Structure formats: structure tokens, C-alpha cells
Amino acid sequence: MPDLLTLLLDLHDLPASQLPEPARDAARSSLYDWLICGRAGTNEPVADKLRRFIAAEGGQGLASVLGAGTAPARQAALVNGATSHAIDFDDTHFAHVGHLSVGIYPAALAVGEETGASAGDVVDAFLLGSEAAIRVGMALGSAHYNRGFHQTATAGAFGATLAAGRLIGLTRDQMRAAIGLCSTRASGLKSQFGTMGKPYNAGIAAANGVESARLAELGMSSCADGLAGPEGFLQTHTDDPGHDLPPVGRWLLPEISYKFHACCHGTHAMIEALRAVGPVDPGDVAAIELRTNPRWLSVCNIADPGTGLEVKFSYAWLAAMVLSGRDTSAFDSYSDVVAADPALAAIAGRMTVTGDAGLSDMQAEGVLRLASGGQTPFAHDISAPIATDVLRDRLAGKSRALLGPDGGPPATLVGDLATMTAADLGRMLRGEAA
């Protein structure tokens, strides 16, 4: 089996003609989702602070900044990575153990604008960068995550390096140097969770990717193998590296998972399962019996939430919202008023939740029993693939929920990409018409 470095260099060298459409399609969906999350994050405090940080530095740049203006690619990548991760609504890749789009798309798009790339080039660079980041994340493994590192930042930086280097057109030797430089530059800890440091980590990944690729282009030298070599990133950053890595040509990005609900990820399988049941007469709910992976019981099983924030971690309240036809995708669905709603409380009081180690942490199962008689089993696995057209419809709905009917990227975006440039995408970041 080729080593990790060779896998990354082979990905870098892969001709565009060998990128299959289903994998590109996943990258296009990720772009759509990333633009939605990015636009939705522009008013967050962390986004404002980082925009002020790069504005104070100044600098001539062609790379668009989410919210407004342009900057050098490294600065734009820092801001856009953090901004798009600020509301924690972006995609997750479970094998990579982290979020791909927020670390890699900001680097790809910023360098794509600098190099005059097409939108298709940016999508391809993201795809290859993601395939690299997922493999680095798998090689770092759960031992890395459990030690306290944040794959979104660490493995993500290597993905960002690959994406930026692809668009710059680095030679194979330059890409080897870029990976070496990234190995000494990449960082990011989970201790930041719950603070502005968490979205900052995504910006760090993106900025490190731009920096490593641009320095390699200028001829900076580095170690021969920054990943699996002596004192490389694996040896220093994980106690149990994974060795069984998928070969180039096995496309992993399509396993990515999107968030459609503005609440704890541990509740999403239940929400999807109950959405399939559909709204019911609230007075007719006799019992809701939910089984879920035991790890979630200490995370998102608040029986009687006192605030809107606690509702996001309450199976019972969220089940009541879904069965009442309430919107779980919008932020303003989670107010303190909702936490005190007696109609929701009446349904929530009929919920029982039990742990079931036979279910993965992406699964939920249960039974809805009606007072009028009859029962409806429900089940969902959020790792199950979603048909592309269904996915795009749901992303359009997410966009409307977060940004209003006209605030998000055009619903025709994915179809239009074939004729667009990175500069067109940049205008969307800045909030201008494409």
C-alpha cells in the first residue's frame, strides 16, 4: 500500500479527466452548503473581529471576504474559514472526524480568485483537498482526536494545502515541500470548543494551506516526508496512527453529511425519523418511545429544557416540535418562549428515551403510539446517502431558513457552476450579485 505522502502526491497529480462526476457532484453540494453557512455567519462576533484584524493589516488582494471586501488570499482564508464555521451548521465527514468545507473551500476559493481559476477548477481542488484531508484524518485517527486535537484544523490544513497547491500549479516536488511546511505549521485543539477559538481553528486550517502552498511555490525547502517521516506530523501528533488507508480512486467525499437542523447533531437522526412520520394531531400522541446510541443520553436528553439553548439538546422538546410541524432548521425556532410552550410540553411529557448500544451514533429508532389506536415505528440513519436532487432541495430550504428567501446563493447555483469563475463565486461571498 502506498504511504500517506504518496497518496497525497498522487491525488495532487491526478488529471482532471479522472475525477468522476458523482464525486464532483458531492463537491458542488458542499460548495452550496458552504456558501449558505458562510453567508449566515457574517454577523457573528468572531467574523467581525477577524475582519477587523485583517483590515488593520491591509494588503492588496483579489480574494473575497465573506461579508465585504477583498484581501490577500491568506487573510481572506482565515476570515472565511472562521466565518463559515461560526454558526456550527456546516458539513461533517465522520471518517475524517471533522468538518471539511470550512477549512478547504476558503483556501481553494481565495487562491482560485488570485489565479483566475474557473469555478470548476475550485470545485476540483476542493474535491482533491478533501480526499487528502480525509486520509490524513483517518491516519491521525481517533487517538489524535482523543488526545485533544481538532482534525478540522490539523488534517484540514493538509487538505487546504493540497487545494491551494493544485490551483497554483505546484510541481510534485513543490507539493512535497508544501506538505512538509504544512506539517510544521498545522495546529488546532478541541479545548477551543464553546469559544471563538473553535471557528478560528477552521480559519487556521485554511490560512495555513494558503501559506504552505505559496511558500513552496517560492522555493522554500522542507523535510522529505512531513507526514509519516521521522518526527513528522503523524509521529508527533498521534499515539496510534491508522494504516489501512483507501487508495486513490476510492472517493470518500460523497460520504459527507450535512446539517439541516439548528440543534445538537445527536438529535438529527430522531428528527429525520419523525419528519418521515409527519405532523400528527398533538392531542392524539399517547407515547413516543425513542431508542438511541447510549453516548447521546448525557448529551442531548434534557427532559425539561429551561431555555432555547437547552431545547437544542432535548429529544423530547425536539420531537414535540417536529410532530407539531415546527421548523427545526431556523435559529429563531429556539427561543426561550419555545422552551415554555405548554403545547410542546404536553407532547414532550409523553416521551421516553432509552439507550441502545446496537444503534450507531448516527441512528435512531422508536415507536409513536396514538391515543386513537395504532402505532407507527420510526427509524433513520443519517449516514444513509441522500439523492442529489433531494439534497439540493433541502439545502435550498436550509438557505431560506437561515438567510430568508433572497439572502442565500441562487438555487440554480450548482447548475450554473459550469459557466462560472472563481471571481463570480467571490462576488457571492462579498454579498454582491454574481
Q: Which is nearer to a copy of itself, 61 or 409 (CB)?
A: 61
* Stretch near a copy of itself under the rule CB under 8 A, chosen from 17-25, 218-226, 261-269, 370-378: 218-226
CA distance 178 to 159: 11
Contact 328, 269 (CB under 8 A): no
Q: Which is nearer to a copy of itself, 115 or 257 (CB)?
A: 115
Task: Kindly state the smallest distance separating residue 221's Cβ from a copy of itself, in Å.
Answer: 4
Q: Which is nearer to a copy of itself, 37 or 110 (CB)?
A: 110
Task: Kindly state the smallest distance separating residue 222's Cβ from a copy of itself, in Å.
Answer: 4
Q: Which is nearer to a copy of itself, 150 or 350 (CB)?
A: 150
Q: What is the 3-state secondary structure (H, E, C) of 43-103?
A: CCHHHHHHHHHHHHHCCCCCEECCCCCEECHHHHHHHHHHHHHCCCCCCEECCCCECCHHH
Contact 36, 400 (CB under 8 A): no
Task: Kindly state the smallest distance separating residue 220's Cβ from a copy of itself, in Å.
Answer: 5
Q: Which is nearer to a copy of itself, 167 or 401 (CB)?
A: 167
CA distance 3 to 283: 60
x/- binding map, residues 157-196, to a copy of itself, per CB under 8 A?
Answer: -----------------------xx-xxxxxxxxxx-xxx
Task: Kindly state the smallest distance separating residue 236's Cβ from a copy of itself, in Å.
Answer: 4
SS3 375: strand
**Which among 217, 223, 92, 120 is positioned nearest to 164, based on CA atoms?**
217
Q: How many CB atoms lie within 10 A of CB 181?
A: 23
- For residue 120, CA distances in Å to 19, 124, 173 come to 11, 6, 25
x/- binding map, residues 69-98, to a copy of itself, per CB under 8 A?
Answer: ---x-xx-----------------------
Mode of pairing for the β-strands spanning 285-292 and 351-355:
parallel
Task: Kindly state the smallest distance separating residue 199's Cβ from a copy of itself, in Å.
Answer: 10
Decide: is 282 part of the binding site for a copy of itself (CB under 8 A).
no
Q: Give the total residue count for the chain.
A: 434
Q: Which is nearer to a copy of itself, 239 or 332 (CB)?
A: 239
Task: Kindly state the smallest distance separating residue 360's Cβ from a copy of itself, in Å.
Answer: 25
Task: Kindly state the smallest distance separating residue 59's Cβ from a copy of itself, in Å.
Answer: 4
Give burial (CB, 10 Å; 0-12/13-18/19+) of 228: middle
Decide: is 115 part of the binding site for a copy of itself (CB under 8 A).
no
Which value, to the nearest 10 degrees, does the dihedral of the CA atoms of residues 27, 30, 35, 37 take? -160
Position 323, amino acid? L
Decide: is 153 part of the binding site for a copy of itself (CB under 8 A).
yes
Decide: is 111 part of the binding site for a copy of itself (CB under 8 A).
no
SS3 330: coil
Contact 367, 375 (CB under 8 A): yes
Contact 111, 167 (CB under 8 A): yes
**Which among 425, 416, 323, 386 is positioned nearest to 114, based on CA atoms?**
425
Task: Kindly state the smallest distance separating residue 163's Cβ from a copy of itself, in Å.
Answer: 19
x/- binding map, residues 228-247, to a copy of itself, per CB under 8 A?
Answer: -xxxxx-xx-----------
Task: Kindly state the smallest distance separating residue 147's Cβ from a copy of itself, in Å.
Answer: 6
Decide: is 405 part of the binding site for a copy of itself (CB under 8 A).
no
Decide: is 149 part of the binding site for a copy of itself (CB under 8 A).
yes
x/- binding map, residues 49-68, to a copy of itself, per CB under 8 A?
Answer: xx-xx--xxxxxx-------
Query: Residue numbers of the site for a copy of itself (CB under 8 A)?
Result: 45-46, 49-50, 52-53, 56-61, 72, 74-75, 147-150, 153, 180-181, 183-192, 194-197, 200-201, 204, 211, 214-215, 218-223, 226, 229-233, 235-236
